[in-house]
Structure 1
Amino acid sequence: MDNIQYSAAVEYAAASGTLSSIWLLFAIPLASAAVLFLLGRRADKWGHLLGVASVVATFVLGLVYFFQLKGLSGNRSAEVDLFSFMPVGSLKVDFGLLLDPLSAVFVLLITGVGSLIHIYAVGYMAHDPGRRRFFAFFNLFIAAMLLLVLGNNYVMLYFGWEGVGLASYLLISFFFDKPSAATAGKKAFLMNRVGDAGFAIAMFLMFAQLGSVNYDDVFNGVNQLTQGTVLVMGLLLLLGACGKSGQFPLQAWLPDAMEGPTPVSALIHAATMVTAGVYLIARSNAVFSANATLQTVVVSIGALTLLIGCVIGCAKDDIKRVLAYSTVSQIGYMFLGVGLGGAAYALAIIHLLAHGFFKAGMFLGAGSVMHGMQDQVDIRRFGGLWKYMKITWITFGLGYVAIIGLPPLSGFFTKDPIILAAFNRPGWTGWLFGGAALLGAGLTAFYMTRLFVLTFHGPKRWTDGQHPHESPAVMTVPLVLLAVGSVASGFLMSTSVVDWLTPVLGKHAEEHGRLGHWTVTGMTMAVVALGLAAGVLLFRKGTALEEQPAGPVVTAARNNLYADTFNELVFELPGRYLTRALVFLDNRGIDGVVNGLAAMVGGGSGRLRRAQTGYVRSYALSMLGGALLVVAALMAVTLG
């Protein structure tokens, strides 16, 4: 990658005409959420319609802005400063928005896929008494995510970042009367706070070293910092990115987010929250490209996480949890891409966009299966559903083929180039990271084939009381549209998006490494075919419900590789005992001292009060005794 100053990569243009109203992109869904919150039950009958209409309108507006941005000459961007948000001493932060090639593609992803998920949710949540509240949370989520990607400085990004965290907590724990859902919401909220703390400290460091948190100031000034400072700043930003995107070591919350309604899973895992970390690193490419050690850390986390997601995904029986760990793995590929730098920045964004289509389609397809199977989630209790749910079967199948990377679907055009870039990384680490990405491709083909075959093929394994059926059109139409994106998005974006993102990520020369494109493609297709064949051969006849494969690896995978156990032993238990010790110290120590002094004063005053008898002779006797003591003391001094 050519080292370029940020000002040379992106030259902001003053917003003019319609582009001066880009604040409407987050204001519309935010206003609809506010209306639904304020009206309460009075909006129950039509609240879902307002929620859908606001997001669809935002998508249409996003398309208008996209084409207007495309029509600008030179480096395309539009910036709007609405008001002074934080004027404190020398820190000047405006409530500013930036629409450039990177934020524009995220706007279209969030609102486009988000609109389809909203439409799907109308049918999915039709019989839920809290549907209006659900759409209020949903629109708040969309508004916060749009503010995150549209902010023109790190404070605005962080503002949206925290809004996404709040909305995700409300949505994951939507069924708050269900203990597992309430626990999952709290878990997601707390684990994200760990990452958010790193992000906040990174901003403090930016201001301390550069005097600003604006993108252009930070990116132009990063080359003036020492390598140690850049490394610390980048690691803190990476910690925040790992929290939001569910990457090691903060990945444990993401699968538990399945406790929310299925549309929530689709929105979080496909188009919004988990993509925030990738966006943060891509937006901060000038920081991460300035330190080779920092890039190695990002690549290492991506490679490790993609393998973690694949291994655990092979052992799960819950249809949504398999897809959740698939998301963990696919985001790992994106981290691998942004960590490799150079042209791989754009490759990671392309994979992110394609992933938004096929992962949303599969999550919504899983919801369609649950809808037809009375909320059953165990894939061992499915089988043969293709006969009863043909639209769901076809659309889910297209997403499945896309994610494993078979041509000509989107994953083939987006994931294979990342594997190629990993192999062509200089030094021996290229073989290591390329091998990890290649192994991940084979494992992905295996566990996704297992999921698809056990769900839709083989003998039926459901109970006689269940009657599988296709979902209504309000749910299947979004599935069809997402399936179209799963098929075509990778091919359509493989070259055009790279050129489109050049003003933000820089112009990159063609890189020539140790392996050629067709060599890596052949290797990838070989391991994918092997994983696919193994999945079909092992599970084409179904699997017994009581079947529990033995072995330490399978046991560890079923227990999430003991990530929760580690967190409990290292963080939760010490924290719990520390809390108990502090409570004991507070009760017995601090409160004991205060209460002891109060008791001593109260007891002493009570005894002194007894001397106040009200009898003159007692007071006279006391005065005489005191006078005698004074005389005796004076005589002792005189005689001494």
Structure 2
Amino acid sequence: MYLNIVFLPLVGSLISGFFGRFLGGRGAGIITIFCLALSFCLSSLAFYEVGLGGCFTYIYLMPWFESDSFHVDWAFCFDSLTVVMLIVVTFISTLVHVYSTEYMGGDPHLPRFMSYLSLFTFFMLILVTADNFVQMFVGWEGVGLCSYLLINFWFTRIQANKAAIKAMLVNRVGDFGLALGIFGIFICFGAVDYATVFALSPQLTSYTLSFFNINCRALDLIGILLFVGAVGKSAQLGLHTWLPDAMEGPTPVSALIHAATMVTAGVFLLARCSPLLEYCPKSLSIISVVGGMTAFFAATTALVQNDLKRVIAYSTCSQLGYMIFACGLSNYSVAVFHLANHAFFKALLFLSAGSVIHAVGDEQDMRKMGGLRKLLPFTYAMMVIGSLALMGMPFLTGFYSKDVILEVAYATYSKASHFAYWLGSFAAFCTAFYSIRLLSLCFLAEPNGSRSLLLSASEGSWPMGVVLGLLAVPSMFIGYLSRDLFIGLGTNFWGNSIFCLPTNLSIIDAEFMSTSIKIFPLCCSILGGGLSFILYKSYNKNLFLWKTSLLGRQLYTFLNRKWLFDKVYNDFLTQNLLDFGYHFTYKAIDRGLIESLGPFGLSNVLLSQVNQSRTWHSGYLYHYLVTLVWSNLIFGFLFLFAAQSLRICALLTFFVLWLTL
């Protein structure tokens, strides 16, 4: 059963990929949906057996690497953390597959698309079920590969090519950090399997490593390197630039990447490594600060974005910041709880956005929409549910995890945690503002789009509606139903899958905070949502005047251009690297040194010698006599040299034989 959970998506991907031209788009969709649905049913059984029954499972397949003390197996570990991720990944992926068969129904390459989606899910399942860091790295790289294939699915579009290459290159930076972290783990622990590394972590707290000729605590260094990997995948500040550009792919791809697979891998890595990170206090402080800054940065950037999918993309980046700084505060269970909750309402938002885009002729600029509330009433209702859950409104799913993260941030009582709390609270204000702004511009404002497109707008087919309805249910209720199981006081659901030192426990202190501190983020959300509704419901004139003022224009430009991160990277990093590559490595080394000593230089020498030899074939007798004399002299010297060498060799041989006798 457990192996079928992992390998059924691979079977569906192979069948759809190799036999898609015979099955057609509908047949490939049926095969992949069946495999994913069966995997989800088996994941539910695994959740009951492992999560609720407490029967953790370990499956050993075969050895993989055997080299001296370096030993890696193919093995799978199913504990509470794994089965929660299995439920989330397979459920969201199944619904995205169903949605894609309708959304991409007119695409001639639908079998290839379904194959990529299933392969994406398979690699994510490999990542979450791995028993060691090397096997986890296989899934880690696999989701990166599949993200490139899916973002670049419409490969005839230049922007899709650029976005896919950017996602691949930016993630290579994080992957390099993760690889260094795995190397450091093997150097310190002599093993890469989770059980050995986590068991030995308390014994190596005083161990040091030399990194760039600087001696530092080994566990702190490893924790930071692992976090660099998480920064790349989970799009934290500095390596976040690939995530908004990934919107060039089809909308179902965006839903799968943002809700259940690639971007959640970094949070999962930190939660999985909790027994190691607990002994890295400096790393945890850095994680908290970076997470809080990411939540605030992405939320402010989303305030003025006009592309519908980019607003939701920056929302994902902001929510990932909440999860990351919860991990930095040693509240891994709260981070995973928010990850699971966020997956449902973020998938609902993206797929609802796809329904809107599909209805208005693939238009994504919110300023060209408006008035869709009466044309798309069901999609509007789904968008409202997803947006309110994202804002953390009471009794919806987001409220039960997002507010707890902010409460434990304040209750930890450290500079890093309070820094994250205040940034997270202001990010909550911005989240509510851009969520209501999205609803106002798309559904409530006066129509601004083309008359022909608006008149032809209609709801999608019934499978798309069923998918949105199925996602709306957990977006409303799953937070309330699972809160006590995941983060309730005294729950033993996580078992040994998540570890927290007693000195780092702060969720109990969060229960006894003052009421004003507890409700402050909620007040920020209500204030941000109300202000946005007032300003954007009917395009308030004061908002226009403020935007066109000198200060307003500068602030708007700064936020709309994403805090100028792309400009700084392009002007000071990318362009300089390209110039260096062209002028030095290409012109000086490739074209200069290598080609002058290699084939280009050899051909030049041969041509010059041939041209010189042609001048001696002039028909004059003295030219031929000189050539004959020089040839005889050269061959004579060569003959004498060879004869002398033979004579010396013969004498040496005779002398050696005489000595032996």
Fold agreement, TM-score > 0.5: yes
Asked if 2 retains the 8 angstrom alpha-carbon contact of 1:27 and 1:143, the reply is yes
Q: Residue 58 of structure 2: SS of its match in structure 1? A: strand
Identify the residue that residue 498 of structure 2 maps to in structure 1. Answer: 505
The answer to whether structure 1 residue 328 and structure 2 residue 331 are counterparts is no
Asked if 2 retains the 8 angstrom alpha-carbon contact of 1:419 and 1:520, the reply is no
- 82-91 or 311-320, which deviates more: 82-91
Asked if 1 retains the 8 angstrom alpha-carbon contact of 2:116 and 2:146, the reply is yes
The Cα shift of 1:458 comes to: 2.5
The separation in 2 between residues aligned to 1:174 and 1:62, in whole angstroms, is 29
Matched AA of 2:313: A
Identify the residue that residue 573 of structure 1 maps to in structure 2. Answer: 575
> Superposition pairs for residues 175-574 of structure 1, below 5 Å?
175-225=154-204, 226=207, 228-341=217-330, 344-466=331-453, 467=455, 468-498=457-487, 499=491, 500-506=493-499, 511-512=508-509, 516=513, 518-542=515-539, 549=548, 550-574=552-576
The Cα shift of 1:120 comes to: 1.2
The separation in 1 between residues aligned to 2:632 and 2:509, in whole angstroms, is 107
Asked if 1 retains the 8 angstrom alpha-carbon contact of 2:288 and 2:416, the reply is no
Percent identical residues: 31
The Cα shift of 1:607 comes to: 4.2
The superposition leaves residues 3-38 of structure 1 with CA deviations (integer Å, 9 ceiling, x where unpaired) of: xxxxxxxxxxxxxxxxxx422212111011111221
Unaligned runs of 5+ in 2: 209-216, 638-661
The Cα shift of 1:118 comes to: 1.3
Distance verdict in 2 for CA 1:359–1:71, change over 3 Å: closer
Matched AA of 2:13: A
The separation in 2 between residues aligned to 1:625 and 1:135, in whole angstroms, is 77
Matched AA of 1:133: R
Identify the residue that residue 12 of structure 1 maps to in structure 2. Answer: none
Distance verdict in 2 for CA 1:325–1:604, change over 3 Å: same
Asked if 2 retains the 8 angstrom alpha-carbon contact of 1:423 and 1:514, the reply is no
Asked if 2 retains the 8 angstrom alpha-carbon contact of 1:172 and 1:257, the reply is yes
The Cα shift of 1:174 comes to: 0.8
Matched AA of 2:243: L
Asked if 2 retains the 8 angstrom alpha-carbon contact of 1:423 and 1:515, the reply is no
Identify the residue that residue 136 of structure 2 maps to in structure 1. Answer: 157
Identify the residue that residue 604 of structure 2 maps to in structure 1. Answer: 599
Q: Residue 509 of structure 2: SS of its match in structure 1? A: coil
Distance verdict in 2 for CA 1:151–1:602, change over 3 Å: same
The superposition leaves residues 569-607 of structure 1 with CA deviations (integer Å, 9 ceiling, x where unpaired) of: 232112101210211012133322444465346534664
The Cα shift of 1:103 comes to: 0.5
Asked if 1 retains the 8 angstrom alpha-carbon contact of 2:534 and 2:540, the reply is no
Identify the residue that residue 53 of structure 1 maps to in structure 2. Answer: 34
Identify the residue that residue 11 of structure 2 maps to in structure 1. Answer: 31
Q: Residue 79 of structure 1: SS of its match in structure 2? A: strand
The separation in 2 between residues aligned to 1:144 and 1:624, in whole angstroms, is 70
The Cα shift of 1:521 comes to: 2.9
Asked if 1 retains the 8 angstrom alpha-carbon contact of 2:288 and 2:324, the reply is yes
- 538-547 or 524-533, which deviates more: 538-547
Asked if 2 retains the 8 angstrom alpha-carbon contact of 1:416 and 1:520, the reply is no
The Cα shift of 1:43 comes to: 2.2
Identify the residue that residue 42 of structure 1 maps to in structure 2. Answer: 22
The separation in 2 between residues aligned to 1:131 and 1:606, in whole angstroms, is 61
Q: Residue 86 of structure 1: SS of its match in structure 2? A: strand
The Cα shift of 1:159 comes to: 0.4
The separation in 1 between residues aligned to 2:604 and 2:615, in whole angstroms, is 17
Give RMSD over aligned pairs.
2.6
Q: Residue 75 of structure 2: SS of its match in structure 1? A: strand
Q: Residue 497 of structure 2: SS of its match in structure 1? A: helix
Identify the residue that residue 622 of structure 1 maps to in structure 2. Answer: 629
Asked if 2 retains the 8 angstrom alpha-carbon contact of 1:380 and 1:542, the reply is no
The separation in 1 between residues aligned to 2:226 and 2:304, in whole angstroms, is 32
Asked if 1 retains the 8 angstrom alpha-carbon contact of 2:29 and 2:98, the reply is no
Asked if 1 retains the 8 angstrom alpha-carbon contact of 2:396 and 2:480, the reply is yes
Distance verdict in 2 for CA 1:557–1:397, change over 3 Å: same
Q: Residue 465 of structure 1: SS of its match in structure 2? A: helix
The Cα shift of 1:447 comes to: 0.8
The superposition leaves residues 23-59 of structure 1 with CA deviations (integer Å, 9 ceiling, x where unpaired) of: 2212111011111221241122411111111111110
Distance verdict in 2 for CA 1:454–1:604, change over 3 Å: closer
Distance verdict in 2 for CA 1:601–1:61, change over 3 Å: same
Unaligned runs of 5+ in 1: 1-20, 631-640
Asked if 2 retains the 8 angstrom alpha-carbon contact of 1:446 and 1:535, the reply is yes
The superposition leaves residues 364-423 of structure 1 with CA deviations (integer Å, 9 ceiling, x where unpaired) of: 000111111111111112222121211111111111111111111011110001001111
Identify the residue that residue 656 of structure 2 maps to in structure 1. Answer: none
The one of 91, 94, 108 aligned to 1:112: 91
Identify the residue that residue 44 of structure 2 maps to in structure 1. Answer: 63
The Cα shift of 1:224 comes to: 2.9
The superposition leaves residues 430-467 of structure 1 with CA deviations (integer Å, 9 ceiling, x where unpaired) of: 33221111111111111111111211112222221122
Q: Residue 516 of structure 1: SS of its match in structure 2? A: coil
State the aligned residue count.
605
Asked if 2 retains the 8 angstrom alpha-carbon contact of 1:402 and 1:411, the reply is yes
The separation in 2 between residues aligned to 1:80 and 1:37, in whole angstroms, is 29
The one of 584, 589, 594 aligned to 1:590: 594
Which of the pair has the greater relative contact order for Cα pairs under 8 Å at 6+ separation? 1
Q: Residue 450 of structure 2: SS of its match in structure 1? A: coil
The separation in 1 between residues aligned to 2:109 and 2:540, in whole angstroms, is 37
The separation in 2 between residues aligned to 1:406 and 1:357, in whole angstroms, is 15
The separation in 1 between residues aligned to 2:628 and 2:303, in whole angstroms, is 95
- 398-407 or 383-392, which deviates more: 383-392
The answer to whether structure 1 residue 137 and structure 2 residue 116 are counterparts is yes
Distance verdict in 2 for CA 1:606–1:470, change over 3 Å: closer
The separation in 2 between residues aligned to 1:149 and 1:386, in whole angstroms, is 40
Matched AA of 2:179: A
Distance verdict in 2 for CA 1:115–1:599, change over 3 Å: closer
The superposition leaves residues 537-589 of structure 1 with CA deviations (integer Å, 9 ceiling, x where unpaired) of: 10011479999654322111111111111221232112101210211012133
Distance verdict in 2 for CA 1:590–1:83, change over 3 Å: same
Asked if 2 retains the 8 angstrom alpha-carbon contact of 1:383 and 1:542, the reply is no
Q: Residue 501 of structure 1: SS of its match in structure 2? A: coil
Identify the residue that residue 642 of structure 2 maps to in structure 1. Answer: none
Distance verdict in 2 for CA 1:93–1:625, change over 3 Å: closer
The separation in 1 between residues aligned to 2:480 and 2:531, in whole angstroms, is 28
The separation in 1 between residues aligned to 2:466 and 2:496, in whole angstroms, is 36
Identify the residue that residue 80 of structure 2 maps to in structure 1. Answer: 101
- 406-415 or 384-393, which deviates more: 384-393
